[in-house]
Every structure is written in structure tokens, then in C-alpha cells.
């Protein structure tokens, strides 16, 4: 994506071939800082601390982490044992986004026949780059399919602006290019369709207010930041035509894990007959699971993320405690929206309803779990 006229991705390999560089998303929108990832520890730190975040980007970062593990393995006494142990450590960095384990397994599988550790490292690097390019391409295709939904609404409204609500950040910062949920928005904007995006602030870490608003603003897309609780009110008053969100893990039966609060948006959308779409690449489907609520692991993060709000006070960054100092807090990072509340999925292969049968029609080669 272009930011201030420059082509940018949230992750890229440095030309020295032993460093991966990422945009530090904790510092946006007020500071633009690039961090180096030189080791598996750096990679795990970046994922855990949400320097990088968003399911596809977590996957690509993990893939490069496997490359760094393969590189370090070259000088170890038992390279194979070391490499496998490092892959396991990367996989454990965050629990909910399935792209993490998917990407580690894919790179590990691609190099499993490599006997020479140096050759293994080269192969791992090539596979990580392939994953990054594929995810970029998936996002573009999601945009092409998803824009048809926006065009349909525009026709129904006789050309009046199309109001889209999104939650968290499923934009290019969370992916590689143009995002998942935002890809149809960028495409609509390019086609000259009048759109306006309601951006949920997305407490506690404000990925919507900080990241989605920044992204859309840099591209000139009209948007308004709202509190997480405003969506239902806007829907009741006809101010939302379409909801499009991303996901961290979606079962083969259509249950959707995404940033905490997504479920409440889906309930409000159903009550108000507002179409609720989930945009995702195939790497975010977990083909082994049949019931999202009971089977998808939900990350619990540091309660201080709820208790303390971060922001800018003139030009100074501040952390401010909100509740009484001795009030406990709990921080569930994701929730699960059952398939019955999802109007459809926008994938790189097209749009389908949120049913096992329809998902299977788009991805016939994937083993679909038997429903108990």
C-alpha cells in the first residue's frame, strides 16, 4: 500500500538476508518506527507484544522466524533437534490466530527433506517469501470478490454513500497488502464508489482507532471512529449498510473467532437485518475444528491492557490508569461469532455462505471435519 507516496508493507526482508524488518504497530499512529528481527527470540517477542499483529501478518512473521531458526541451527551441535525446538517455541507465541501454526508447519514441511542445514535455511527463506506473496495475492482477490457486495448496496441506494462498519484492524497492517476486511473498501474507493467506514475503536488496545483510522486516512477514505458500543445504535437508525470484519481462526463449519466485541456486532447486525460478512484467506480456516465456541483457544492477555489507556498528550506519549488502582480486570482478547450469525465469507476463491457445505464447495481439497 502507498503511505505518503511510498510503497509499504508491514514486514520485509532486509537486504543483508539475516534480518527481517517490521513496522512497530504499538507506536502507530503517532510515531512511525521500524524494528529489526534478528532471532527467534525477537520474532516471538514481536508476536507476543503485538509489535506485529493480525492473523495473516502473524503467520508471515512466524514463517520468517522459522527461517531465522534454520539459520541459527547451522552452527548448533544438533541442528535438527534445535530447529524443531525453535519451531515449537514460535508456535506457542499467541494461541488464537491459526495462521501462526499453519505458517510454521508449512515452512517446516517444505524443508523436511533438506539434509544440509545451510540448504534448509535457504529453502525456509524461500518458503517464507512465498507465503508473504501468496497472502498479498489473497488479499487482492478478496478485494475483487468483496467489492461486488459494495456495488450491490450502492445500486440499491441509487448511488448514495455506502456505510460500512468494521471492527479492530483487518487492514494491510494486519496482512501484507490491502488487508482482508478492508480490501473491498480499497477496491471500491479505487473504482470511485462513494464509501464511508465506521471504525470501531476496539478497546482495549484500540487497533481500530489507532491503526484502521490511520490506514484509511492515509488513503483518503472517508471514515469516522466510534466507540465499540455505538454500532448497535447506528444500525437501528439505518446508518450501517454492511459490516465487514476479519478473523483469526474460522472453523470448517463457519464459526468465527475475531477480536473481542465482534460477536456483539454480529448480534446487532442480525437484529437489524444488516449483512455481516467475514473476509479471510484460506490460511485462517482451521479445517480440524467443528465448534468454535468450545474448541477455539481464546487468548487472555495482561489485565493492565484494560486498566491502562495509552495515548498522546500534545507531543508526549502517556499511559493513564482508568479504574481504581485496586480494581481487578480481565482481558479476553477474542470472541467467537457462531456461523448462524454470519451472512457470508469473502475468500480468495469467492464469496460463500457460512455453512460447511458452501465452504467445502469453495475449498473441495480441504478435509472438512465431520459434524458430531
Work out whether strand 350-352 and strand 285-286 pair parallel, antiparallel, or are unpaired.
unpaired
Angle, helix 183-190 to helix 117-156, in steps of 10 degrees = 60
Among 170, 219, 256, 351, binds ligand MRU (CB under 6 A): 170
φ, ψ at 6 (rounded to 5°): -105, 135
By CB under 6 A, tell whether 243 contacts ligand MRU.
no
CA dist list (Å): 56 to 59, 138, 194, 285: 5, 10, 28, 11
Alpha helices in 191-309 (DSSP H): 207, 213-219, 231-236, 262-271, 292-295, 304-307
By CB under 6 A, tell whether 258 contacts ligand MRU.
yes
Choose one: 51-59, 225-233, 234-242, 354-362; the region binding ligand MRU (CB under 6 A).
51-59
Gap between the Cα atoms of 348 and 139, Å rounded: 7
Among 79, 208, 246, 344, binds ligand MRU (CB under 6 A): 246
By CB under 6 A, tell whether 259 contacts ligand MRU.
yes
Minimal distance, residue 192 CB to ligand MRU, in Å: 25
Among 90, 101, 333, 336, binds ligand MRU (CB under 6 A): 333
Minimal distance, residue 180 CB to ligand MRU, in Å: 4
φ, ψ at 285 (rounded to 5°): -80, 135
By CB under 6 A, tell whether 143 contacts ligand MRU.
no
With respect to ligand MRU, which residue has the nearer C-beta, 20 or 121? 20
With respect to ligand MRU, which residue has the nearer C-beta, 56 or 344? 56
With respect to ligand MRU, which residue has the nearer C-beta, 84 or 140? 140
Write out the binding residues for ligand MRU, residues 183-212 only, by CB under 6 A: 207
Of the candidates 226, 144, 213, 221, the residue with the CA atom closest to the CA atom of residue 177: 144
For this structure, is 248 an active site residue?
A: yes
Gap between the Cα atoms of 178 and 2, Å rounded: 10
Which positions ≥6 away from 142 have C-beta within 8 Å? Answer: 180, 183, 184, 279, 280, 281, 346, 347, 348
Of the candidates 55, 61, 117, the residue with the CA atom closest to the CA atom of residue 299: 55
By CB under 6 A, tell whether 256 contacts ligand MRU.
no
Minimal distance, residue 55 CB to ligand MRU, in Å: 4
Gap between the Cα atoms of 331 and 301, Å rounded: 5
Minimal distance, residue 333 CB to ligand MRU, in Å: 5
Choose one: 59-67, 71-79, 105-113, 169-177; the region binding ligand MRU (CB under 6 A).
169-177
By CB under 6 A, tell whether 134 contacts ligand MRU.
no
Minimal distance, residue 196 CB to ligand MRU, in Å: 20
Gap between the Cα atoms of 355 and 112, Å rounded: 35
By CB under 6 A, tell whether 56 contacts ligand MRU.
yes
Which residue's Cβ has the minimum distance to ligand MRU?
246
Minimal distance, residue 127 CB to ligand MRU, in Å: 21
Contact between residue 257 and residue 284 where contact means Cβ atoms under 8 Å apart? no
Q: Which of 248, 255, 286, 335 is catalytic?
A: 248
Report the chain's C-alpha Rg in angstroms. 20
Binding string, residues 6-45; x marks residues near ligand MRU by CB under 6 A: ----------------------------------------
CA 238 to chain centre: 28
CA dist list (Å): 33 to 24, 39, 46, 284, 313: 6, 19, 13, 28, 19
Among 28, 40, 42, 53, binds ligand MRU (CB under 6 A): 53
With respect to ligand MRU, which residue has the nearer C-beta, 82 or 285? 285
Gap between the Cα atoms of 164 and 34, Å rounded: 31
The count of chain residues that interact with ligand MRU, using the rule CB under 6 A, is: 17
Write out the binding residues for ligand MRU, residues 263-322 only, by CB under 6 A: none
By CB under 6 A, tell whether 180 contacts ligand MRU.
yes
With H, G, I as helix, E, B as strand and everything else as coil, classify residue 228.
coil
- Rule CB under 6 A: which residues touch ligand MRU? 53-56, 97, 168, 170, 174-175, 180, 207, 246-248, 258-259, 333
Residues identified as active-site? 248
Amino acid at each position: 500500500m502507498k503511505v505518503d507516496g511510498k510503497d509499504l508493507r508491514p514486514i520485509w526482508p532486509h537486504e543483508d538476508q539475516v534480518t527481517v524488518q517490521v513496522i512497530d504497530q504499538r507506536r502507530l499512529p503517532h510515531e512511525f518506527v521500524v524494528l529489526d528481527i534478528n532471532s527467534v527470540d525477537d520474532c516471538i517477542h514481536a508476536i507476543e507484544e503485538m509489535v506485529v499483529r493480525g492473523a495473516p501478518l502473524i503467520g508471515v512473521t512466524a514463517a520468517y522466524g522459522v527461517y531465522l531458526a534454520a539459520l541459527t541451527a547451522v552452527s548448533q551441535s544438533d541442528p535438527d533437534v534445535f530447529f524443531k525446538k525453535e519451531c515449537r517455541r514460535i508456535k506457542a507465541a499467541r494461541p488464537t490466530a491459526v495462521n501462526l501454526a499453519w505458517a510454521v508447519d508449512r515452512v517446516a514441511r517444505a524443508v523436511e527433506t533438506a539434509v544440509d542445514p545451510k540448504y534448509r535455511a535457504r529453502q525456509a527463506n524461500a518458503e517464507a517469501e512465498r507465503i508473504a506473496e501468496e497472502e498479498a495475492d489473497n488479499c487482492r482477490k478478496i478485494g475483487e470478490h468483496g467489492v461486488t457486495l459494495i456495488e450491490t448496496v450502492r445500486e440499491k441506494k441509487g448511488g448514495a454513500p455506502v456505510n460500512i462498519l468494521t471492527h479492530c484492524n483487518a487492514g494491510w497492517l494486519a496482512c501484507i497488502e490491502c488487508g482482508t476486511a478492508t480490501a473491498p473498501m480499497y477496491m471500491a474507493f479505487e473504482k470511485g464508489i462513494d464509501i464511508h467506514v465506521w471504525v470501531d475503536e476496539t478497546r482495549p488496545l484500540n487497533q481500530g482507532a489507532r491503526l484502521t483510522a490511520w490506514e484509511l486516512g492515509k488513503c483518503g477514505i472517508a471514515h469516522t471512529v466510534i466507540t465499540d458500543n455505538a454500532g448497535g445504535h447506528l444500525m437501528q437508525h439505518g446508518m450501517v449498510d454492511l459490516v465487514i470484519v476479519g478473523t483469526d481462526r474460522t472453523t470448517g463449519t463457519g464459526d468465527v473467532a475475531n477480536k473481542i466485541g465482534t460477536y456483539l456486532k454480529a448480534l446487532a447486525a442480525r437484529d437489524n437485518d444488516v449483512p455481516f460478512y467475514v473476509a479471510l484467506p484460506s490460511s485462517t480456516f482451521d479445517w480440524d475444528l467443528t465448534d468454535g465456541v468450545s474448541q477455539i483457544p481464546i487468548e487472555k492477555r495482561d489485565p493492565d491492557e484494560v486498566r491502562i489507556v495509552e495515548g498522546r498528550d500534545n507531543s508526549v506519549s502517556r499511559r493513564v490508569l482508568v479504574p481504581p488502582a485496586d480494581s481487578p480486570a480481565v482481558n479476553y482478547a477474542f470472541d467467537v461469532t457462531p456461523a448462524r450469525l454470519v451472512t457470508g465469507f469473502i475468500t480468495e476463491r469467492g464469496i460463500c455462505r457460512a455453512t460447511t457445505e458452501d465452504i467445502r464447495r469453495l475449498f473441495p481439497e480441504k478435509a472438512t471435519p465431520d459434524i458430531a
